[in-house]
């Protein structure tokens, strides 16, 4: 029979061929590296049969899906190890996640971090045994019977939400039988390195009304060197944790009286304001106007926008004006729609680029809150572009050009991901297809590489998500470009076209930072708190060797301050070495060290936090060099 392979060519295989047989026929090397397969775009075991005309793709560890299968299998090995060591434990779910996996358990007796080495040892035994995963197809009723006999209440709960006629897959491996789509590794001996990292609590199905289970997190790699490298990166990430640095550097704190709502201290406000100042500079240059809309607006507005029906669970609502419903805005878009409606627009006015640094509030679950990365109150660097259909491609190009300019300043690379229509969406499918094609065509014409994230668009339109890579190689989704034909329709937005007819504008939602607060947290970790000079809350620390130089030091400080440099003077009666170390710990870019020699010569001695002693120089030369470094936003 004949099957199709990834490059579009046809391949003759035996009538009873499996995915692995197809891999062998392509090349022995590919077969050796194969993890699983995709038949007609559906993941499957290597042992899965193929049929006439099937499209067959071989998945290796170089593919994202290959590592997901590798780590999902690792999660099942963890579950089997737990079942062997703690037979009375009830199992829940165990997915692969970014860089690892986890599994949720209901232990008869509590376990902790100290128990992980014992579980790891059992996992190593299982891998050495090369335990096989047997795939079994069953009906829902057959699955219920099996899990009742096994006394697995969480699996029965999951089964209760599945239709009677659906065919399910179970995977049996020694003492473990699990409800799972698969696929799994055919040979688990390729899992050469793994580590169980921590134990936490997690509600079943993420619902706080359900029982709290024990979640064990782990990671796994095909090579020990890769695991060592990853664990070293995690150690470095701990040192860079923005919550730790935020406290040490006096940037922000979060109070128990306002969970998820950051308090910015003076240095943190400087950082935030510098990010905002730069945002305003590049947006003014790119032709944006800036507006400000109210923090709370009435229910009717949110019903028109669709948020009341599709997003209310994440909104803070309250009663006012004789029991009328209001909501604190979770996003800025509806307010900008009202701004557009205030005026009659001509086609000549478009594109109209409107920015807003709007404070928004979202009701996030307490268990998901994490420093500045996941908060309930934050400032979005929002912008909405109203345009003609013919301007879609050029405006997307303009936004991506702005993204290039902004991220280059922070020395960040990025990748693009096109997210398409989700199940929970508003608007006609034909409209969705039209705008999805427009986004994809724009990316292709611009020569941009991108991946597809099917079904992950916003409820009102598809989007291009922008993922930045930080100094540790971690990726963060910050910027986004969302094309919207729904809100203009819902708000009855219009413009007068060249022929005098009323037409509906196309709209782009877009952010560059995403959230200024989250971006500040990411940059804190990216630079390990040692911000570039233009961003640093304190740019220069003046230090004296003894109190005799204090008057000269104050004059130096005042001149730096007059030149617009953010400067502090450490006048404590401490040893100079101690004061230099303190300035280094505070990640201050430059130190001006003054002794009797400097006073006598009317000079300054300069130290850089990374480059060390830069020698003596004239104050004006130093100020000129600082201004140049600030204006170019150089990263030293």
- Catalytic amino acids? 333, 362, 380, 382, 384, 463, 509
> What is the C-alpha separation between 137 and 151, in angstroms, rounded?
20
Angle 152-158-160 from CA coordinates, rounded to 5°: 105
> What is the C-alpha separation between 494 and 386, in angstroms, rounded?
10
> What is the C-alpha separation between 279 and 14, in angstroms, rounded?
61
Phi, psi of 568 (to 5 degrees): -125, 155
Q: The tokens 């028109």 sit on which residue? A: 304
Q: Are strands 100-106 and 90-91 parallel, antiparallel or unpaired?
A: antiparallel
Question: Which residues, in sequence order, are bridge partners of residue 352?
Answer: 386
Which candidate, 227, 228, 229, 199, places its Cα nearest to that of 214?
A: 199
Q: Where are the alpha helices (DSSP H) in 482-530?
A: 487-490, 516-526
Q: Are 438 and 483 in contact (CB under 8 A)?
A: yes
Q: Are strands 590-594 and 540-544 parallel, antiparallel or unpaired?
A: parallel
Show the 3-state SS of 329-396.
CCCCHHHHHHHHHCCCCEHHHCCEEEEEEEEEECCCCHHHCECCCECCEEEEEEEEEEECHHHHHHHH
Q: Are 147 and 155 in contact (CB under 8 A)?
A: yes
Q: The tokens 């609502």 sit on which residue? A: 317
Q: Are 69 and 77 in contact (CB under 8 A)?
A: no
Output b/e per residue, 256-270; b: 16+ Cβ within 10 A.
eeeebebebbebbeb
Which pair of tokens denotes residue 620? 């004006």
Coil/strand/helix, residue 408: helix
**Distances in Å between the alpha carbon of 150 and those of 133, 145, 168, 213?**
18, 9, 17, 19
């Amino acid at each position: 029979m004949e099957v199709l392979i990834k490059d579009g060519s046809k391949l003759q295989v035996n009538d009873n061929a499996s995915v692995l047989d197809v891999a062998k026929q392509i090349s022995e090397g590919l077969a050796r590296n194969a993890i699983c397969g995709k038949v007609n775009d559906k993941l499957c075991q290597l042992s899965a049969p193929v049929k006439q005309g099937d499209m067959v793709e071989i998945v290796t560890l170089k593919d994202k899906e290959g590592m997901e299968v590798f780590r999902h299998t690792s999660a099942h090995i963890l579950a089997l190890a737990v079942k062997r060591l703690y037979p009375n434990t009830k199992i829940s779910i165990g997915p692969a996640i970014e860089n690892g996996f986890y599994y949720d358990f209901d232990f008869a007796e509590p376990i902790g971090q100290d128990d992980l080495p014992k579980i790891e040892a059992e996992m190593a035994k299982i891998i050495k045994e090369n335990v096989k995963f047997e795939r079994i197809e069953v009906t829902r009723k057959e699955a219920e019977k099996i899990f009742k006999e096994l006394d697995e209440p969480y699996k029965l709960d999951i089964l209760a939400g599945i239709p009677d006629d659906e065919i399910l897959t179970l995977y049996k491996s020694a003492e473990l039988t699990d409800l799972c789509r698969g696929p799994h590794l055919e040979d688990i001996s390729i899992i050469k390195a793994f580590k169980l990292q921590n134990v936490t609590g997690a509600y079943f199905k993420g619902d706080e009304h359900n029982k709290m289970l024990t979640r064990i997190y782990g990671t796994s790699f095909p090579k020990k060197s890769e695991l060592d490298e990853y664990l070293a990166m995690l150690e470095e990430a701990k040192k860079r944790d923005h919550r730790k640095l935020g406290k040490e550097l006096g940037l922000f704190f979060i109070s128990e009286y306002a969970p998820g709502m950051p308090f910015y201290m003076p240095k943190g406000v400087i950082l935030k304001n510098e990010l905002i100042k730069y945002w305003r500079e590049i947006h003014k240059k790119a032709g944006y106007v800036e507006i400000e809309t109210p923090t709370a607006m009435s229910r009717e507005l949110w019903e028109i926008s669709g948020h009341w029906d599709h997003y209310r669970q994440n909104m803070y609502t309250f009663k006012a004006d004789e029991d009328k419903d209001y909501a604190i805005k979770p996003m800025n878009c509806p307010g900008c729609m009202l701004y557009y409606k205030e005026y009659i627009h001509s086609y000549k006015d478009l594109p109209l680029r409107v920015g807003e640094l709007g404070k928004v509030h979202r009701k996030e679950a307490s268990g998901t809150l994490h420093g500045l990365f996941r908060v309930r109150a934050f400032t979005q660097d929002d912008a909405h572009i109203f345009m003609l259909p013919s301007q879609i491609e050029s405006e997307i190009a303009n936004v991506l050009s702005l993204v290039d300019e902004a991220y280059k300043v922070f020395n960040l690379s990025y990748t693009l991901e096109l997210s398409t229509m989700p199940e929970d969406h508003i608007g006609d499918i034909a409209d969705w297809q039209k705008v999805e094609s427009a986004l994809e065509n724009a990316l292709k014409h611009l020569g941009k590489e991108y991946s597809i994230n099917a079904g992950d668009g916003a409820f009102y339109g598809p989007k291009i998500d922008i993922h930045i890579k930080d100094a540790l190689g971690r990726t963060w989704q910050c910027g986004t470009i969302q094309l919207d034909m729904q809100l203009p329709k819902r708000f009855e937005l219009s413009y007068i076209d060249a022929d005098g007819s009323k037409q509906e504008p196309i709209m782009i939602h877009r952010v560059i930072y995403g959230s200024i607060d989250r971006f500040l947290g990411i940059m804190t970790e990216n630079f390990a708190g040692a911000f570039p000079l233009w961003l640093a809350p304190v740019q220069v620390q003046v230090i004296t060797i003894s109190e005799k130089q204090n008057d000269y030091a104050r004059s130096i400080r005042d001149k730096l301050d007059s030149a617009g440099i953010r400067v502090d003077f450490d006048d404590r009666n401490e040893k100079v070495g101690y004061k230099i170390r303190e300035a280094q710990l505070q990640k201050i870019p430059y130190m001006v060290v003054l002794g009797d020699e400097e006073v006598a010569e009317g000079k300054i001695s300069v130290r850089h936090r990374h480059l060390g002693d830069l020698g003596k120089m004239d104050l004006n030369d130093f100020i000129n060099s600082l201004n140049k470094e600030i204006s170019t936003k150089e990263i030293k």
